[in-house]
């Protein structure tokens, strides 16, 4: 099914497409990591659609880097130091994903699933931090310049073997993936372009002590290269510039953005408009994303809840909705692993496939187990069910109304009245209808029962 | 809150389906003879270097073109005067000596693609179409189960991974399992949820139906998996590798009598652009010792002659090394192992000097010929059906007795 909105004209609230809690939830779910809290839904509802998007682009200050980023590595003498640093990095990432109100952490994830590195090969946590923070610094900046910077990151030089790519011994790994996965896409370059680009990227090394990369002129292949029909003594930056002149690159990136933020069912017409927008903005991302999120196309009902939550979205969402604190990094890592998203360790250089690939018969039951556990053992996980219950109880007079509001906020799908009635009918709520008469433990018990069921429903897996 | 019951599955539509007379027959024929044939595919992810797996040691070019990573001649496990196994494949030597291991040489396909992802799709899909929707084993399952929907066991199982293209059919797909014990435990935690209402909009939501479909697969298959898991426990001691654990789970389900015929396991890390000498041997060791343990584990099974293992990989690697590793290549060597297999070499090793413009070997056996051999020689379907599955006729190699 295609959206009736065929271009990126702005969304205006209407009777048919009201700016309501469900649509606010859609905006927040698609632009951040995990479901929003009820308080956040209130806040963004009051901002109105236009201002809501602008607020998402107001970034907090960049976090201070860890002191150890410029210090010597732990390995080989003290590998346990690196282990501690990795744990710190994981805590840091989860903490920011939970707390940052803006779109920035979502983009950190987006870029790290685009310019992929795996910690199992990179190993050094200093390099993992550096590239992670580069994505944060350049979250909505210029994609072409980000691409240039990524190629010089120690993590990438290590991961795709740039440090082994020298004038004497060409290593094709980075040059191929740069074109196939990071910029222009398969079918738009030849094997010869891979070899020529590899020559242009020669000469980079990493200083293990400082954790920084540097250029070594005598390892660089200064000869003439022929790339996409151009000939010259190109270096890596030149290669990136040439690739970004190709219209296929804008289309490739637009498709990636569209699939991630709008729908994995590609709409070629809208993607091509997004590509034009990228070119017209010289690959500056912020204005393009703002236009996208403010469009009626993005806000269309058919995209609401039309994707599958990632494990991280599931976990962070549960914590945020119930004002919980992240578990320690070991448990976090384990929970994300068994549900199919081991942190810092995507399956390969093309990253997680996302969308329906998040779910199979194995990950689905682990996700359900995780969610049920969080609700049942909410005290252990520090989830504030009392606060959550109080929030909704204050805004409803009958149990039915209370349930209705919670269901509407927790299930990302846009529910018709029939759907809502059907779900409500499942619960025994007609006995004891008025909340005012009920004790708070009684209400909390009912809400717990409701939550335990909701997190097992199909719709809860969506975003 | 009441724990959910499996009777629930026999909701109105399901029950009425079983009561239709034409379905009672299929239900009774749960164990067709062809389902006793088992195929275990081990995917070597990243592109396994065939030249350092089976070493063409009599060819001087091998040592000339690989000054940094050639396997030294004195450590080799020689199989004849031309070819030798890598020393870390020692555990396969016994199987080779018993005549149960086929080695296919120069396996590849025309116009090779050097992208991991595209080439993996080509292998899993057994297709070079621009967009590939189904996998070859998915199409196999579609074909032999035409019209059948009442499976009580998964038609195919993938261990430790997301459902990938290889098992995707038009109507049937594989089930992903990571830890059966956990599966049983979690399933008991689940409680009833509201049914989708036909008057609502959720019934039309593709994603909702997708999630619902997955849960109902689990509900449907759980009992058969549980029964097989309990029955198949042999306590055999596998080596401590990831692949070993996966193969031990497969062995346990097979020994327990699960009807599932197709299993897929994976070993990743073969993208050896650098430091090949320190990484590749470890992977080969894991592969060989896991396969050896698997066959020892099932050796006392009465119909062990129905089980065949086959390796696949998206491509081989460049003939010439790049200093400490190898870049993406084309043709490679593969193994087909099991009691019904006629051991020996199949095909012809490609030249190490007559290369394509990228410096890669020219393939001799199309990988789809290997698949055709499995389909007709082992899984027992006709040539015509194999052509249907492989989207074209490919001569099979007679490697089954």
- What is the pLDDT averaged over residues A431-448? 84
Q: Which of residues 287-326 of B touch A (CB under 8 A)?
A: 322-325
Among the residue ranges A307-311, A427-431, B311-315, B365-369, the one predicted with the least confidence is: A427-431
pLDDT of res. B79: 98
Is A254 within a domain? yes
Question: What is the number of other CB atoms lying within 10 angstroms of the CB of residue B39?
Answer: 22
Q: Does B235 touch chain A (CB under 8 A)?
A: no
Would you tell me the crossing angle of helices B180-189 and A361-376 to the nearest 10 degrees? Answer: 50
pLDDT of res. B11: 36
Report the residue count for chain A. Answer: 463
Identify which of A58, A28, A30, A52 has the alpha carbon closest to the alpha carbon of residue A294: A52
Maximum distance among all Cα pairs of chain B, rounded to whole angstroms: 74
Identify which of B111, B105, B47, B127 has the alpha carbon closest to the alpha carbon of residue A172: B47
Identify which of B221, B220, B228, B310 has the alpha carbon closest to the alpha carbon of residue B39: B310
pLDDT of res. B147: 78
Q: How far apart are CA A378 and CA B289, in angstroms?
A: 44
Most B CBs within 10 Å, among A372, A425, A458, to test the B interface: A458
Chain A neighbors of B162, CB-CB under 8 A: 340, 353, 357-358, 360, 363
pLDDT of res. B197: 87
Residues A359, A447, single domain; the answer is yes
Q: Which two tokens stand for residue B283?
A: 């992977």
Residues A373, A450, single domain; the answer is yes
- What is the pLDDT averaged over residues A156-164? 97
pLDDT of res. B151: 87
pLDDT of res. B100: 96
> What does each C-alpha distance from B335 to B98, B107, B241, B264, B277 come to in angstroms?
15, 11, 20, 15, 22
Q: How far apart are CA B108 and CA B130, in angstroms?
A: 18
Contact at CB, B183 and A364, closer than 8 angstroms: no
Residue B197, min C-alpha distance to chain A (Å): 6
Residue B198, min C-alpha distance to chain A (Å): 9
List the single residue in B with minimal CA-CA distance to A309: B207
Is A268 within a domain? yes
High-pLDDT (> 90) share of chain A, %: 95
Chain A neighbors of B206, CB-CB under 8 A: 306
pLDDT of res. A431: 72
High-pLDDT (> 70) share of chain A, %: 100
Most A CBs within 10 Å, among B168, B203, B207, B278, to test the A interface: B207
Is A87 within a domain? no
Please name the residues in contact with A24: beta carbons below 8 A apart, sequence gap of 6 or more: A36, A41, A44, A45, A52
Q: How far apart are CA A80 and CA A77, in angstroms?
A: 9
Is A292 within a domain? yes
Q: Does B12 touch chain A (CB under 8 A)?
A: no
- What is the pLDDT averaged over residues A196-203? 98
Q: How far apart are CA B367 and CA A249, in angstroms?
A: 33
From the list A357, A359, A413, the residue facing B214 with the nearest CB is A359
> What does each C-alpha distance from B261 to A107, B118, B145, B150, B233 come to in angstroms?
43, 27, 12, 16, 19
Mean pLDDT rounded to a whole number for chain A:
96
pLDDT of res. A279: 98
Q: Which of residues 50-109 of B touch A (CB under 8 A)?
A: none
Would you tell me the crossing angle of helices A399-410 and A21-31 to the nearest 10 degrees? Answer: 30
Provide the domain count of chain A. Answer: 2
Is A209 within a domain? no
Q: Using CA atoms in the order A217, A221, A226, A232, what is the torsion angle rounded to 10 degrees?
A: 40
pLDDT of res. B15: 38
Residue A452 has pLDDT above 60, yes or no: yes
Q: How far apart are CA B291 and CA B88, in angstroms?
A: 13
Phi, psi for residue A271 in degrees, rounded to 5? -60, -40
Each residue of A376-390: pLDDT tens digit?
A: 999 999 999 999 999
Using an 8 Å Cβ cutoff, are B191 and B1 in contact? yes
From the list B114, B183, B212, the residue facing A458 with the nearest CB is B212
Q: Name the CATH architecture for the domain at B32-389.
A: 3-Layer(aba) Sandwich (3.40)
Q: How far apart are CA A321 and CA A93, in angstroms?
A: 18
Would you tell me the crossing angle of helices B242-255 and B206-231 to the nearest 10 degrees? Answer: 80
**10-residue block means of pLDDT along chain B (401 residues)?**
41 39 38 69 98 98 98 95 98 97 98 96 95 95 87 92 86 91 95 91 92 95 96 93 96 95 96 97 98 94 84 98 97 97 97 97 98 97 97 96 85
List the single residue in A with minimal CA-CA distance to B214: A361
Please name the residues in contact with A15: beta carbons below 8 A apart, sequence gap of 6 or more: none
Query: How many contacts does A have with B, using Cβ atoms within 8 A?
Result: 161
> What does each C-alpha distance from A193 to A189, A409, B184 come to in angstroms?
6, 51, 52
From the list B115, B217, B323, the residue facing A169 with the nearest CB is B323
pLDDT of res. B148: 82
pLDDT of res. A110: 98
Each residue of A265-278: pLDDT tens digit?
A: 999 999 999 999 99
Q: Does B358 touch chain A (CB under 8 A)?
A: yes
pLDDT of res. B304: 66
Please name the residues in contact with B258: beta carbons below 8 A apart, sequence gap of 6 or more: B153, B224, B225, B228, B232
Contact at CB, A419 and B325, closer than 8 angstroms: no
Q: What residue segments make up the domains of chain B, in order of their start?
A: 32-389
Residues A367, A452, single domain; the answer is yes
Q: How far apart are CA B200 and CA B193, in angstroms?
A: 16
Residues A434, A370, single domain; the answer is yes
Most A CBs within 10 Å, among B193, B242, B315, to test the A interface: B193
| Buried residues in A405-443 as b, exposed as e (16+ CB within 10 A) | bbbbbbbbbbbeeebbebbbeebebeeeeebeebeeeeb
Q: Which of residues 141-180 of B touch A (CB under 8 A)?
A: 160, 162-163, 175-178
Chain B neighbors of A369, CB-CB under 8 A: 182, 186, 189
Using an 8 Å Cβ cutoff, are A336 and A363 in contact? no
Q: Which of residues 197-226 of B touch A (CB under 8 A)?
A: 197, 199-202, 205-208, 210-212, 214-215, 217-218
Cα angle vertex A279, ends A274, A285, to 5°? 70
Q: Does B327 touch chain A (CB under 8 A)?
A: yes
pLDDT of res. B6: 36
Residue A370 has pLDDT above 50, yes or no: yes
Please name the residues in contact with A206: beta carbons below 8 A apart, sequence gap of 6 or more: A127, A154, A157, A158, A163, A212, A213, A214
pLDDT of res. B27: 37
Contact at CB, A426 and B189, closer than 8 angstroms: no
SS (H, E, C) chain A: CCCCCCCCCECCCCCCCCCCHHHHHHHHHHHCCCCCCHHHHHHHHHHCHHHHHHHHCCCCCCCCCCHHHHCCCCCCCCHHHHHHHHHHHHHHHHHHHHHCCCCHHHHHHHHHCCCCCCHHHHCCHHHHHHHHHHHHHCCCCEHHHHHHHHHCCHHHHHHCCHHHCCCCCCCCHHHHHHHHHHHCCCCCCCHHHHHHHHHHCCCEEEECCCCEEEECHHHCCCCCEEECCEEECCCHHHHHHHHHHCHHHHHHHHHHHHHHHCCCCCCHHHHHHHHHHHHHCCCEHHHHHHHHHCEHHHHCHHHCCCCECCHHHHHHHHHHHCCCCCCCHHHHHHHHHHCCCCCCCCCCCCCCCCHHHHCCHHHHHHHHHHHHHHHHCCCCCCCCHHHHHHHHHHCCCEHHHHHHHHHHHHCCCCCCHHHHHHHHHHCCCCCCCEHHHCCHHHHHHHHHHHHHHHCCCHHHHEC
> What does each C-alpha distance from B128 to A45, A279, B135 come to in angstroms?
49, 33, 12
Each residue of A328-348: pLDDT tens digit?
A: 889 999 999 999 999 999 999
Domain that holds residue A379: 353-461
């Amino acid at each position: 099914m295609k959206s009736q909105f065929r271009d990126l004209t702005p969304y205006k609230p209407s009777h048919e497409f009201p700016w309501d809690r469900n649509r606010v939830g859609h905006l927040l779910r698609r632009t951040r990591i995990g479901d929003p809290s009820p308080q956040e839904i209130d806040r963004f509802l009051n901002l109105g659609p236009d201002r809501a998007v602008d607020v998402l682009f107001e970034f907090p200050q960049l976090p201070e880097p860890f002191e150890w980023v410029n210090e010597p590595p732990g390995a080989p003498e003290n590998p346990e130091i690196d282990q501690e640093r990795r744990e710190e990095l994981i805590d840091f990432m989860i903490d920011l994903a939970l707390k940052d109100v803006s779109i920035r952490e979502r983009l950190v994830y987006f870029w790290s699933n685009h310019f992929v590195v795996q910690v199992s090969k990179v190993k050094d946590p200093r390099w993992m931090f550096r590239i992670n923070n580069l994505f944060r610094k350049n979250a909505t900046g210029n994609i072409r310049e980000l691409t240039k910077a990524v190629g010089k990151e120690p993590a990438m030089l290590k991961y795709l073997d740039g440090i082994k790519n020298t004038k004497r011994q060409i290593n094709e790994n980075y040059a191929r993936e740069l074109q196939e996965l990071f910029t222009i896409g398969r079918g738009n370059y030849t094997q010869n372009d891979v070899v020529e680009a590899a020559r242009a990227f020669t000469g980079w090394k990493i200083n293990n002590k400082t954790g920084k990369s540097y250029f070594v002129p005598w390892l660089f292949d200064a000869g003439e290269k022929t790339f996409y029909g151009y000939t010259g003594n190109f270096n890596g930056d030149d290669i990136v510039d040439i690739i970004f002149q190709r219209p296929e690159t804008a289309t490739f990136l637009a498709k990636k953005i569209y699939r991630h933020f709008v729908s994995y069912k590609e709409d070629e017409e809208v993607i091509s408009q997004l590509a034009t927008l990228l070119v017209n903005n010289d690959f500056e991302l912020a204005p393009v994303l703002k236009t996208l999120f403010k469009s009626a196309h993005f806000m269309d009902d058919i995209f609401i809840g039309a994707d599958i939550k990632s494990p991280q979205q599931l976990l962070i969402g549960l914590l945020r909705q119930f004002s919980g604190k992240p578990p320690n990094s070991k448990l976090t890592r384990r929970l994300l692993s068994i549900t199919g998203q081991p942190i810092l360790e995507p399956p390969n250089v093309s990253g997680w496939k996302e969308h329906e690939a998040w779910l199979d018969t194995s990950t689905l039951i682990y996700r359900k187990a995780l969610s049920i556990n969080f609700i049942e053992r909410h005290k252990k996980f520090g989830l504030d069910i009392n606060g959550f219950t109080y929030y909704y109880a204050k805004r409803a007079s009958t149990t039915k109304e209370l349930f209705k509001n919670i269901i509407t906020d927790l299930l990302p799908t846009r529910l018709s009245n029939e759907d809502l009635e059907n779900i409500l009918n499942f619960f025994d709520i007609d006995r004891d209808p008025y909340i005012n008469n009920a004790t708070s433990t009684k209400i909390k018990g009912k809400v717990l029962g409701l939550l335990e069921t909701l997190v097992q429903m199909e719709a809860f897996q969506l975003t | 809150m009441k724990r959910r019951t499996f009777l629930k599955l026999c909701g109105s539509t399901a029950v009425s389906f079983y009561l239709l007379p034409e379905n009672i027959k299929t239900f009774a024929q749960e164990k067709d003879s062809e389902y006793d044939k088992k195929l275990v595919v081990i995917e070597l992810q990243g592109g396994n270097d065939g030249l350092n797996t089976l070493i063409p040691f009599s060819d001087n070019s091998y040592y000339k073109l690989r000054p940094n990573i050639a396997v030294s001649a004195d450590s080799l496990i020689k199989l004849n005067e031309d070819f030798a196994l890598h020393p870390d494949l020692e555990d396969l030597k016994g199987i080779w000596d018993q005549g149960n291991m086929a080695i296919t040489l120069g396996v590849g396909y025309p116009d090779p693609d050097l992208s991991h992802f595209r080439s993996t799709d080509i292998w899993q899909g057994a297709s070079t179409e621009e967009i590939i929707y189904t996998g070859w084993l998915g199409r196999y399952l579609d074909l032999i189960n035409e019209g059948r929907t009442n499976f009580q066991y998964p038609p195919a199982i993938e261990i430790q991974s997301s459902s990938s293209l290889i098992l995707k059919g038009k109507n049937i797909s594989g089930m992903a399992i990571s830890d059966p014990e956990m599966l049983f435990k979690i399933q008991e935690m689940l409680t009833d949820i509201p049914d989708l209402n036909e008057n609502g909009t959720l019934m039309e939501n593709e994603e909702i139906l997708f999630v619902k479909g997955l849960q109902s697969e689990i509900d449907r298959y759980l009992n058969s998996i549980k029964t097989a898991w309990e029955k198949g426990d042999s306590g055999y001691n596998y080596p401590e590798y990831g692949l070993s654990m996966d193969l031990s789970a497969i062995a346990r389900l097979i020994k327990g009598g699960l009807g599932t015929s197709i299993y897929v396991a994976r070993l990743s890390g073969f993208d050896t652009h650098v430091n090949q000498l320190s990484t590749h041997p470890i992977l080969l060791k894991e592969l060989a010792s896991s396969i050896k343990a698997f066959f020892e584990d099932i050796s006392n099974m009465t119909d062990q002659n129905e089980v065949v293992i086959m390796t696949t990989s998206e491509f081989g690697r460049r003939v010439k090394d790049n200093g400490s590793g190898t870049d993406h290549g084309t043709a490679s060597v593969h193994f087909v192992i099991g009691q019904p297999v006629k051991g020996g070499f199949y095909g012809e090793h490609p030249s190490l000097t007559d290369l394509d413009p990228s410096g890669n070997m020219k393939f001799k056996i199309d990988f789809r010929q290997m698949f055709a051999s499995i389909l007709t020689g082992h899984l027992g379907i006709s040539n015509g059906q194999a052509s249907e599955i492989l989207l074209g006729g490919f001569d099979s190699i007679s490697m089954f007795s």
